């Protein structure tokens, strides 16, 4: 008989409001491991004991309702956290990375169990905690105990299998059954909070592996952040439009906000899709009518739910190449000037130059003139032939070459089409990559939480394509100083000319325009292969991307904490 290591599970929740859900969860969990759970605060059971129990477990289960729960340091302190949130945080303290499964109850609460009604001191904190749980990992929403039981059973079995597989001696590092933490569901439904919960839940109920959910609030000042949670969960995001939600989306305040939602969907995924319930697309606002739309009828959904949901899934498949096979997102940010910004540098407009500090003004102007002279000698149409209205239109190596957007997509296509057994296929376990472009302007302009989105990408891991000319533009340089101060992202700087026009000392020295963020330190001191500088050849850029992109995705998925896997990556990337 095989002696498998004990699989310990910690169950965390508030108690009085989630008694039924806790009983269901404990019955499920006891079949698959040793269960430890949170308890009422008392002199015998201290916070330290709770944290210690979490640290001893191999899996954390959090069931979150609308009560924040007991706050050990007292509710009067607005920064104090509940025992439930402290248990949640314990999964990531002292170097630990304990897997978390989060289940959010959506409705069916009595008034006494809703802090927003009965306990104002912690009302904001429970909403913030719920948002945090959604943001920091994939979470699952449920309406009743049956839904919780089904979803919990499936996920706990998968977690236990991964645990025993990782513990088994001789277990192959590249198991074809690899579970990706960040794998995208085929479709994410974006719904307006409080409008269409029943319809949305009906769809999810009959195709739980095809759809995921993200909620948008209106009014709200962080809709860009909420939208990105949906984009990080699905291969294709669609906006659910119903007779209830449409009036809220098209108010004087809502219309520009949801116009931006649609524009972001177009930018990220190439198209914006509306899922229309009981609405004729011809009755949509004029600016929405050209969009792709899928129509459904509430009567059919109610009477024949399986058939109706299957038809919706089929329509999504015909509209875009969505699949249940694993797909992973590659977030990309291009730091390059637009044509207008490049020409303002060429003209040395006084207002622009004066934005540099006095100490560096002359130096940056001199560096720009050197770079511009070398670029002009190599490209007759510089800068007009290399830049466009959008940053992704930057042609890194001249007007006859691909745009940076095309270059990234072509490299990703090559990775996705690589033969089985190739380096990329081994690293990615045959998962495919989807490119997601984020604009630098989302950071610069900060529209409704967009700056927060970009900073989060930087911290999680993102591909930065940097035009060295941008580092001599005051506004773009200041943004680069913040965005390139990261060790998690893959960064390449591209030169429009032969970098030999500067010595290595001047290129990487203290006063170099490349001395921004942490890139020189990563390149020179740490010799980090995920940071490359001054590439001036398209083939070299493509070669670097073929190596950097798979590693970036693997590390962003949470594998950097597995030394054996990292060593195997290094071996394959050689």
C-alpha torsion 144→119→226→10, nearest 10:
-60
- Do 129 and 223 have their domain in common? no
On whether both 394 and 503 belong to a single domain, the answer is yes
Q: Are residues 296 and 336 in the same domain?
A: no
Q: Are residues 163 and 190 in the same domain?
A: no
Same-domain check for residues 428 and 554: yes
Residue pLDDT tens, the chain, 574 long: 345 578 899 999 998 889 999 989 998 898 888 888 765 444 445 688 888 889 999 999 999 999 998 888 888 888 899 999 999 999 998 888 899 999 999 888 887 888 888 788 888 999 999 999 998 888 899 988 888 988 888 788 888 878 877 765 544 444 444 567 788 999 999 998 878 888 888 888 888 889 988 888 766 678 898 899 999 999 999 999 999 999 999 998 888 889 999 999 999 999 999 999 999 988 899 999 989 999 999 888 888 888 889 899 999 998 888 988 889 999 999 999 999 999 988 887 656 666 666 667 777 777 778 888 888 888 888 899 999 999 999 999 999 999 999 999 999 999 999 887 788 888 888 899 999 999 999 999 998 889 999 999 999 999 999 999 899 888 999 999 999 998 899 999 998 776 554 444 444 444 456 767 788 888 888 889 999 998 989 999 999 999 999 999 988 876 433 444 444 445 544 4
Same domain flag for 358 and 231? no
Contact (CB, 8 A) for 331 and 438: yes
Q: What distance lies between CA 566 and its chain's CA centroid?
A: 22
* Sequence-ordered list of residues with C-beta below 8 angstroms from that of 323, at least 6 positions apart, any chain: 186, 235
538 domain-assigned: yes
Within this chain, do residues 367 and 446 fall inside the same structural domain, yes or no? yes
Domain-located, residue 176: no
Domain boundary among 324, 348, 378: 324
Please compute, for residue 425, the number of CA atoms within 13 A of its CA located in the half-sphere on the CB side: 10
DSSP string of 443-475, one letter each residue:
HHH--TTHHHHHHHHHHH--EEEEEGGGGGSHH
* Radius of gyration, CA atoms only, the chain: 26
- Do both 503 and 376 map to the same domain? yes
Q: Is residue 470 in some structural domain?
A: yes
216: DSSP letter? E
Q: How many domains would you assign to the chain?
A: 3
**C-alpha dist (Å) from residue 235 to 75, 144, 212, 323, 373:** 41, 27, 10, 8, 44
CATH code where residue 111 lies:
3.40.50.10140
Residue 467's φ and ψ, nearest 5 degrees, are: -85, 125
- Alpha-carbon separation of residue 45 from 23, 83, 218, 535 (angstroms): 20, 11, 42, 59
- The answer to whether residue 360 sits within a structural domain is yes
The answer as to whether 253 is a domain residue is yes
Dihedral, 108, 111, 116, 121 alpha carbons, nearest 10: -130
- For residues 52 and 126, state if they share a domain: yes
Q: Is the pTM of this model over 0.75?
A: no
Is residue 12 one of the residues assigned to a domain? yes
Question: Is 19 among the domain residues?
Answer: yes
pLDDT at 88: 95
Distance in angstroms (rounded) separating the CA atoms of residues 409 and 406 = 5
- pLDDT for 491: 96
First to last CA, the chain: 40
* Contact indicator for 520, 532 with CB cutoff of 8 Å: no
Which ranges constitute the DSSP H helices of 461-537? 474-483, 504-508, 519-520
Sheet with strand 432-438: strands edge to edge:
432-438, 327-335, 463-467, 490-494, 531-535
* pLDDT score at 367: 78
Instruction: Identify any residues that bridge with 188 across adjacent strands, giving them in sequence order.
Output: 212, 237
The residue whose two tokens read 């959008």 is: 390
DSSP H or E run through 415 = helix 404-417
| C-beta separation of 21 from 146 below 8 A | no
The whole-angstrom separation of Cα 124 and Cα 68 is 9
pLDDT value at residue 45:
55
Could you give the CA distance from residue 356 to residue 373 in angstroms, rounded to a whole number? 21
Domain boundary at 294, 324, 354, which?
324
């Amino acid at each position: 008989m095989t002696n498998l290591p004990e699989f310990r599970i910690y169950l965390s929740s508030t108690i009085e409001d989630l008694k039924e859900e806790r009983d269901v969860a404990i019955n499920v969990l006891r079949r698959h491991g040793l269960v430890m759970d949170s308890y009422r605060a008392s002199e015998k059971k201290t916070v330290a004991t709770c944290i210690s129990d979490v640290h001893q477990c191999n899996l954390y289960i959090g069931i979150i309702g609308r009560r924040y729960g007991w706050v050990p340091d007292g509710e009067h302190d607005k920064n104090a956290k509940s025992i439930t949130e402290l248990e949640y945080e314990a999964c990531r303290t002292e170097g630990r990375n304990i897997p978390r499964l989060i289940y959010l109850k959506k409705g069916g609460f009595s008034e006494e169990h809703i802090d927003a009604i009965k306990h104002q001191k912690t009302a904001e904190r429970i909403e913030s905690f719920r948002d945090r749980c959604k943001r920091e990992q994939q979470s699952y929403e449920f309406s009743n105990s049956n839904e919780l039981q089904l979803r919990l059973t499936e996920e706990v079995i998968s977690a236990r299998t991964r645990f025993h597989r990782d513990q088994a001696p001789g277990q192959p590092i590249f198991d074809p059954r690899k579970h990706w933490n960040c794998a995208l569901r085929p479709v994410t439904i974006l719904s307006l909070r409080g409008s269409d919960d029943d319809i949305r839940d009906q769809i999810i109920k009959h195709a739980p592996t095809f759809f995921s959910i993200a909620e948008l609030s209106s009014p709200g000042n962080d809709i860009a952040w909420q939208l990105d949670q949906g984009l990080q969960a699905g291969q294709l995001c669609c906006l659910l439009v119903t007779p209830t939600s449409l009036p809220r989306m098209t108010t004087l305040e809502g219309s520009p906000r949801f116009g931006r939602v649609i524009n972001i969907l177009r930018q990220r995924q190439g198209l914006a899709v509306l899922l229309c319930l009981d609405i004729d697309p011809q009755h949509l606002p004029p600016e929405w009518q050209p969009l792709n739309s899928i129509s459904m009828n509430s009567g059919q959904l109610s009477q024949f739910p399986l058939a109706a949901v299957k038809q919706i899934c089929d329509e999504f498949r015909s509209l875009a190449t969505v699949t249940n096979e694993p797909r992973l997102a590659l977030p990309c940010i291009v730091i390059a000037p637009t044509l207008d910004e490049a020409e303002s540098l060429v003209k040395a407009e006084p207002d622009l130059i004066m934005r540099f500090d006095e100490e560096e003004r002359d130096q940056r102007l001199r560096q720009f003139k050197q770079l511009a002279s070398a670029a002009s000698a190599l490209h007759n149409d510089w800068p007009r032939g290399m830049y466009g209205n959008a940053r992704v239109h930057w042609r890194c190596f001249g007007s006859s070459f691909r745009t940076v957007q095309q270059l990234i997509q072509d490299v990703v296509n090559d990775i996705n089409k690589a033969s089985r057994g190739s380096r990329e296929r081994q690293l990615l376990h045959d998962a495919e990559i989807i490119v997601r472009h984020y604009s630098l302007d989302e950071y610069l302009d900060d529209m409704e939480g967009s700056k927060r989105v970009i900073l989060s990408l930087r911290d999680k891991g993102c591909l930065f394509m940097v035009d060295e000319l941008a580092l001599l533009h005051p506004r773009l340089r200041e943004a680069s100083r913040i965005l390139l101060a990261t060790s998690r992202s893959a960064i390449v700087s591209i030169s429009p000319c032969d970098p030999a026009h500067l010595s290595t000392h001047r290129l990487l020295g203290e006063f170099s325009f490349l001395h921004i963020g942490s890139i020189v330190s990563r390149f020179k001191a740490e010799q980090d292969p995920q940071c490359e500088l001054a590439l001036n050849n398209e083939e070299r850029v493509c070669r670097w991307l073929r190596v950097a992109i798979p590693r970036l995705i693997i590390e962003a998925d949470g594998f950097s904490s597995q030394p054996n896997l990292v060593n195997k990556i290094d071996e394959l990337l050689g």
